[in-house]
Amino acid sequence: MASSNNQDIAGFIWNIANKLRGPYRPPQYRHVMLPLTILRRLDLVLEPTKDKVLAELEKLQAKGMTGPALEAALSRVANGGNRKQALYNTSPFTFHKLLGDAPNIANNLISYINGFSPRVRDIFEKFEFEKEIEKLEDSNRLYLIVKEFCSSEIDLSPSKLSNLQMGYLFEELVRKFNEQANEEAGDHFTPREVIRLMVELMFVYEDEVFKAGKYSSIYDPTAGTGGMLSVAEEYIKRKNPDANIELFGQEYNPESYAICCSDLLIKDEEISNLVYGDTIGIKDAKSRSYNFVPQDGHPDKQFHFMLSNPPFGVEWKPEKSYVDDEADQGFSGRFGAGVPRINDGSLLFLQHMISKFHQSPKSGGDGSRIAIVFNGSPLFTGDAGSGESNIRRWIIENDWLDAVIALPDQMFYNTGIFTYIWLVTNKKPKQRQGYVQLIDGTRHFRKMKKSMGNKRNELSDEQINELVRLFGEFRQNAKCSVQNTGSEETRICSKIFRNIDFGFLKMTVERPLRLNFQATPERIERLKDETAFHNLILSKKRTVEAQEEAFRNGKILQQAVLESLYSMDAAILYKNRSVFIKELDATMKAADIKIDAPLKKAIINVLGERDETAEICRDGKGNPEPDPELRDTELLSLPDDTILPLPIGYEKDASNVKLLKLVHDHCEAYLKAEVLPHVNDAWIDHSKTKVGYEIPLNRHFYVYKPPRPLDEIEADIKALESDILNLLREVVE
């Protein structure tokens, strides 16, 4: 946590930001204040060795040294071997020297930034800070702001603030400025208390990570400004200061990437572990346009802990061809379980993270844990057999889904929807294996004194502790006290389910097609609207003569067909399709008319009508034909003795005899008990039976509230009517 001194400095920097008002709106302050805070910190870090670096540069360049060797040498001189990162500045300027040449401060500041080591220059390129320098200079703010950063009230030197303390200060500034820019912040900023909850949930069953010297890797594929990585690291080091932690991430937003890199640089942590680019597709930094090519920034690498807040409901159409190509590789790629619908790619990120699992402890590995934030869509969107359902099925049947925690609405800055934390792992404790815990935290919130965009609710420390406790205790029907419109109530907040409970069978129930046939004028006239009848006058030949001849011959044939149908006895109602077809064939033969299969099908179609009293229509093998209009689907739970995981596509694999029989008998028992008593001619088309998975969390925690008594409602209506009449009288008077 930030110290009181940090809070004072953060407050002073915030006051400096207010001097930008005019050329900048408050949501834009961060574009200036965050880069300048970093610059001033680096300026003070390098100030003691500035002259030595310049002297060493002159000496080494005279010897012809360039490239990485020169960078390494300058970094050693600049940092005395005390920093992991390559950090130096070859410009003659410092902040104080910049103030000594006010007329040229803009050009000198750009020159100063260009004198930094390559990774630092890259950070300021991602900030696009030259544009801000130009804007500050044009508005006569640049000299003023730089001077304020040189004030003794804002001492960012290492003698006053350690790297860790400076990291806390920077994170506090990022939080404050992102909250100020709440209309944009949702793209890269997750509320800190939500991150805290995710981190604490992820480490509930972890002991090894807190042992001295234990190495742990933490990864965020949508790193944003690095909040999740920072909070996870802080949590571990608070309990184990000697922990060996390495942070990894990937981020596509250039400003967010720059902020995250800056945080790592300030704390002297490895910047090269943060990759610039889209986890699903690459964003070209120079053109700011999307040139999508699949990029896993950390290929063939596994991580112990992973956190993410991927974009909600964002279309992935630009990446579709690349994602589909990788999905076609099966599980040798990242998306072997399937792909979700095009308008929400969040489940792609989860599959990507699962591809980063260490081997499970059962297989001799360390295992991994994931905490990821979703909206409600990944819980239930997608029918049985769809991409979303198959992804859920893959995760649940492999016993990786540990828990889902429902959060209150209005928790995020750019959306008021309900959100859900998924905990996914391949190292479940023994008592949790084969089960999934659902936790209802939708009432665990307190109202904020001042809303920030869509964020009106927040989690208190006590509420975070209670949700963590519920997860850790793993109790069925555990109760807790929750807020309910200002008052408190006790309700069930935790439920435990078997993995199999989220699976279901979607079976297709067919009923036979029954048609009667009659050659009435009304039915015959329908034939004129059929495509097969219209095609009689068309020709595929290109010449005009051939087309005209086809038209003439087609007209003759059309007329002959109609006359033949009109010749049939309109009074006869056929209730057997086979008998009617024989009569139709005889009629056409008598008229010496040859009709092709499409036209014959069209005639049968227009002369037939559904009739429950007619005989069943049968195919060439004597089997009943299904009536598409009477087709229905039924959803039923998986048989209790189903062994998971079920093979994907088992329905078409005849070798799974035992499994096929189990599902077949389960469906037939349901048909006999629930369907046949109402429609005795129904049957199941087992070739269409599909397995689906959904997580209906809200349904499991639904609490029925009876409507108010009618007399109360009536009294309210009368009171409103009275108020309206009084208002109308005031208007008239």
pLDDT in tens, 146-187: 999 998 888 899 888 888 788 888 878 887 787 766 544 445
Q: What pLDDT, on a 0 to 100 scale, did the predictor assign at position 281?
A: 57
Model confidence at 654: pLDDT above 80: no
In 3D, which of 294, 224, 279 has the Cα closest to residue 253?
Answer: 224
Model confidence at 1: pLDDT above 50: no
Q: Which residues, in sequence order, are CB contacts of 334 under 8 Å at separation 6+?
A: 296, 326, 348, 351, 352, 355
Q: What pLDDT, on a 0 to 100 scale, did the predictor assign at position 184?
A: 46
Q: What pLDDT, on a 0 to 100 scale, did the predictor assign at position 292?
A: 37
* Burial call 253-285: b when 16+ CB within 10 Å, e when fewer: bbbbbbbbbbbbbbbbbebebbbbbbbbbbbee
Q: What pLDDT, on a 0 to 100 scale, did the predictor assign at position 4?
A: 57
Q: What pLDDT, on a 0 to 100 scale, did the predictor assign at position 282?
A: 39
Q: What pLDDT, on a 0 to 100 scale, did the predictor assign at position 412?
A: 84
Instruction: Quick: pLDDT tens for 268-312.
Output: 888 889 999 888 853 333 333 444 344 788 988 999 999 999 988
Q: What share of the chain is helix, strand, coil (3-state, %, to 5)?
A: 50, 15, 35
β-strand partners of 726:
none
pLDDT interval class at 533 (50, 70, 90): very high
Average pLDDT, the chain: 88
Please tell me the least confidently modeled range out of 161-170, 223-232, 336-345: 161-170
In 3D, which of 175, 202, 179 has the Cα closest to residue 2?
Answer: 175
SS3 for 439-494, per residue?
Answer: EECCCCCEEEEEEECCEEEECCHHHHHHHHHHHHHCCCCEEEEEEECCEEEEEEEE
Q: What pLDDT, on a 0 to 100 scale, did the predictor assign at position 283?
A: 37
Alpha-carbon distance of 109 to 130, in angstroms, equals 9
Question: Rounded to two decimals, what is the model's pTM?
Answer: 0.84
Phi, psi of 24 (to 5 degrees): -125, 145
CATH 1.20.1260 for domain 1-179:
yes
Model confidence at 563: pLDDT above 60: yes
SS3 for 585-653, per residue?
Answer: HHHHHHCCCCCCHHHHHHHHHHHEEECCCCCECECCCCCECECHHHCEEEEEECCCCCCCCCCCCHHHC
Beta-carbon neighbour count of residue 323 at 10 Å? 24
Q: What pLDDT, on a 0 to 100 scale, did the predictor assign at position 290?
A: 40
CATH 3.55.40.20 for domain 181-374:
no
* Direct distance between the N- and C-terminal alpha carbons of the chain, in angstroms, rounded to an integer: 63
Please tell me the least confidently modeled range out of 395-404, 542-551, 673-682: 542-551
Region at 192 (left for phi over 0; alpha for psi -120 to 50; beta for the rest): alpha
Q: What pLDDT, on a 0 to 100 scale, did the predictor assign at position 579?
A: 96
Q: What is the mean pLDDT of residues 359-387?
A: 93
Q: What is the mean pLDDT of residues 694-718?
A: 86
Alpha-carbon distance of 270 to 111, in angstroms, equals 26
Instruction: Quick: pLDDT tens for 613-623.
Output: 999 999 989 99
Please tell me the least confidently modeled range out of 483-497, 585-599, 657-671, 701-715: 483-497
Alpha-carbon distance of 665 to 667, in angstroms, equals 5
Q: What pLDDT, on a 0 to 100 scale, did the predictor assign at position 204?
A: 95
Residues of the chain with CATH 1.20.1260: 1-179
In 3D, which of 704, 15, 698, 28 has the Cα closest to residue 379?
Answer: 698
Phi, psi of 496 (to 5 degrees): -115, 135
Q: Which amino acid is at 638?
A: L
Residues of the chain with CATH 3.40.50.150: 181-374
CA dihedral sign of residues 387, 388, 394, 397: negative
β-strand partners of 370:
306, 424
Instruction: Quick: pLDDT tens for 6-46.
Output: 678 888 888 899 999 999 988 889 899 999 999 999 999 99
pLDDT interval class at 449 (50, 70, 90): confident
Please tell me the least confidently modeled range out of 226-230, 470-474, 710-714: 710-714
CA-to-CA separations, 323 to 192, 279, 492, 518, in angstroms, rounded = 32, 11, 41, 54
Alpha-carbon distance of 366 to 359, in angstroms, equals 6
pLDDT interval class at 524 (50, 70, 90): very high
Q: What is the mean pLDDT of residues 207-233?
A: 89
Q: What is the mean pLDDT of residues 88-107?
A: 93
Q: Which residue has the higher pLDDT, 643 or 619?
A: 619
Beta-carbon neighbour count of residue 707 at 10 Å? 7
Q: Which residues, in sequence order, are CB contacts of 519 under 8 Å at separation 6+?
A: 565, 566, 568, 569, 570, 572, 607
Percent of the chain at pLDDT > 70 equals 93
Please answer whether residues 398 and 355 qualify as being in contact, where contact means their C-beta atoms are separated by less than 8 angstroms.
no
Q: Which residue has the higher pLDDT, 677 or 68?
A: 677
Instruction: Quick: pLDDT tens for 103-131.
Output: 999 999 999 999 999 989 999 999 999 99
Q: What pLDDT, on a 0 to 100 scale, did the predictor assign at position 285?
A: 33
Q: What pLDDT, on a 0 to 100 scale, did the predictor assign at position 186?
A: 42
In the three-class reduction of DSSP (H, G, I as helix; E, B as strand; rest coil), residue 418 is classed as coil
Q: What is the mean pLDDT of residues 717-730?
A: 86
228's tokens: 């999740």
Please answer whether residues 280 and 252 qualify as being in contact, where contact means their C-beta atoms are separated by less than 8 angstroms.
no
340's tokens: 């979700």
Model confidence at 90: pLDDT above 70: yes
pLDDT interval class at 96 (50, 70, 90): very high
Q: Which residue has the higher pLDDT, 402 or 180?
A: 402
